[in-house]
Structure 1
């Protein structure tokens, strides 16, 4: 949807409203956010753990409905908050980690080692040693990594090394992740020679993008690899298809209209963005529905669905969603501390930086519209009301520190002391790039344990670092 900019007659101002979210709106209307902004004297994030629980349950229900044995592992890199690993521990879900620090965090918040899968390239001695001691499953990415893991297993522990072998996707042959056919053949031979020191439990892949059919096709290839490995005497009873389950932020008509109409004039300083660099903020198949589609797909050249192949071959399906488990599970709050007039729009400066919304640091933009919350409450727009376009700048002295380059059509003039609430930021946006630049403190995370007329809150148990 495009809204006419009443401050100028030369262009229209594109808008991208997020899907309605009654839980978030209840918090915005409670008056609590201004109190927290005053208390923290800076930006902060609020988290909704019940949404994580619901997303996890949806993935598990999809597996059950398809008659497929499967396990869900939360990709911890998507958000550093402790509450998510606490929820995993409570619900006996797994966690996907890629560093010794992430592994310790998961263990420290109650997740059992057997429920942790260790991914990432070129894992350190420290990470592999800790994974071995705790009985974690390691996704081996290269032959030299396999050699290091086998050496540690043969000389330093009494546990066998639990591992998956990661395949280089044929559809992404230039990926830096995974092993080609020749390397996999060598890896299988080395696993056989290691004997009881190894439990080769299956195969995995890392695939960029959000398309469902390629995941079904690659999963089918991994099943075939498992069958071949079983003939050699290896366990090979599971496959991991990783993450890549899209999140649907906005309605289809809003998204397609935005892509069609957006142009440099709609952004501060005529900033130009390529549409293909934006995250797909609308996805017709997202989250657990994407998994349902993958399971119902017939892999290329096959006659049976992926779910049927998994059932018929007794193969477990592992998946590692991050953003999809955090869909709707949190938002980011900035306070307006300055407003500057420009021709046809305003520059609003907030009390944080664009480091707290990671898209801006990847030559892209976090597009869902922020909501304006005044001390009197959330401001509601109407179709015929005047709009007040404004971009949103950060508090640093960098010219490029724009939280939002786009001239957002706010329903009222933002004023000092108002709050801007960016919706649905829990997945990757909150802390992937955060830094205490200018000695500004990192935004704290507030966990909303109970909603209602007066939400109950607490600080997340993981202190900012």
Structure 2
């Protein structure tokens, strides 16, 4: 459970019921957190629960049409062991660099079901993609001759889809990835000309497969996601009329959010499943060769992870309690509020301890860095803590270790475990 203040008129965090708590101690992967800390040999660390990862994929499979392929966007969490697990659960992996491509291939992902997106792909990365046989989501005309050159040099087809910058945004998304001027994708209005160029380059090894649309991320409103999917499908259908070959791949993006902050509630999947079923039925008639793909990262892994730091000191400054830990923004930038929050809000948090403490108090959980930004929880109501207790930040399975400045101030890296 989260431990935000329970004032009657104040928003609270959604319950963190995915992790049991037994006698005040968090259970992750069926193991007591204190034991996991001994197994790791140090704090801080990240822990990801295999059972929760499998359950989330099963939940999606049950809610979405079977015809919709489920891809994992591994930028959310590229830990190799986790990617290996996910590769066996989902239908494909989406990568954003040659480094991620190597992890995905090493994890056993099928190259035919790997797609590569990113606005600044280097020539060597495009060549690697052709050599590996993965699908490249082209984001600029600059990439086309480079792909053709690689295709001719290697004697292999360059599989391409066009990443579309649509003329709409995903309403209510935490991060807008399409609509208006963007560095991502090719503006929808110029795509007919780009597709004509691809058609002229077919003899150079370019193999057109379809479209990739990603309007935004971290959305908790099912109606907004459904609207974006409908608009994305309609746009792809219009573009298909000028495509140099039948559409075989249609990535409708993702945007599924998880509740991080007080007042937020979990995303309702049923309306999204019904909406996708309607689109599947339309595609069977209108784009009969196309596979519909949903690309998810945070939604698949975010709720299955925790960040764990040890309380080193308990100090009171002018009446405010500070729990000083060995973890902080250098390991978990997003929880500190410095990964895109406009107004800083607390992630759900708790104190895991074996002392059976029941008293509660308002406390701030801070780290070891010499900056006031090193704040993991700001005046939250938590179980009263002492040095040695373990501070837990929930919703930490996505954009954690790999999205944080771990070299900052030289405190060292943060281990990750999959249990």
TM-score normalised by the chain length of structure 1: 0.76
Q: 1:127 to 1:224 in 2, by over 3 A?
A: same
Deviation at 1:445, TM superposition (A): 1.1
Residues in 2 aligned to 1:293 and 1:176: alpha-carbon distance in whole angstroms: 32
Q: Is contact 1:332-1:430 (8 Å) kept?
A: no
Deviation at 1:220, TM superposition (A): 1.8
Match of 1:19 in 2: 15
- In the alignment, is residue 72 of structure 1 matched against residue 83 of structure 2? no
- In the alignment, is residue 170 of structure 1 matched against residue 153 of structure 2? no
Q: Is contact 1:334-1:420 (8 Å) kept?
A: yes
Q: 1:22 to 1:244 in 2, by over 3 A?
A: closer
Q: 1:24 to 1:145 in 2, by over 3 A?
A: farther
TM-score normalised by the chain length of structure 2: 0.84
Number of residue pairs the alignment of both structures matches: 388
Deviation at 1:90, TM superposition (A): 2.4
Deviation at 1:370, TM superposition (A): 1.2
Match of 1:54 in 2: 55
- In the alignment, is residue 157 of structure 1 matched against residue 154 of structure 2? yes
Q: Which of structures 1 and 2 has the bigger CA Rg?
A: 1
Match of 1:444 in 2: 415
Q: Is contact 1:327-1:426 (8 Å) kept?
A: yes
Match of 1:203 in 2: 211
Match of 2:311 in 1: 336
Match of 1:410 in 2: 382
Match of 1:432 in 2: 403
In the TM superposition, 1:90-239 aligns within 5 A as 90-91=88-89, 93-153=91-151, 155-171=152-168, 172-196=179-203, 197-209=205-217, 210=219, 211-212=224-225, 213-229=227-243, 232=244, 234-239=245-250
- After the TM superposition, list the runs of 4 or more consecutive aligned residues in structure 1 that deviate by more than 6 angstroms: none
The 3-state SS of whatever aligns with 1:192 is helix
Cα RMSD (Å) = 2.6
Structure 2 regions of 5+ residues with no counterpart?
169-178
In the TM superposition, 1:335-414 aligns within 5 A as 335-359=310-334, 360-362=337-339, 364=341, 365=344, 367-376=346-355, 387-404=360-377, 406-411=378-383, 413-414=384-385
Residues in 2 aligned to 1:55 and 1:207: alpha-carbon distance in whole angstroms: 23
Residues in 1 aligned to 2:90 and 2:309: alpha-carbon distance in whole angstroms: 35
Structure 1 regions of 5+ residues with no counterpart?
5-11, 257-280, 297-304, 381-385, 449-465
Residues in 1 aligned to 2:18 and 2:137: alpha-carbon distance in whole angstroms: 40
Deviation at 1:22, TM superposition (A): 5.1
Match of 1:42 in 2: 43
Q: Is contact 1:169-1:175 (8 Å) kept?
A: no
Q: Is contact 2:257-2:267 (8 Å) kept?
A: no
1:414-459 Cα offsets, whole Å, 9 max, x none, are: 11101111112102234311413332222211221xxxxxxxxxxx
Match of 1:323 in 2: 298
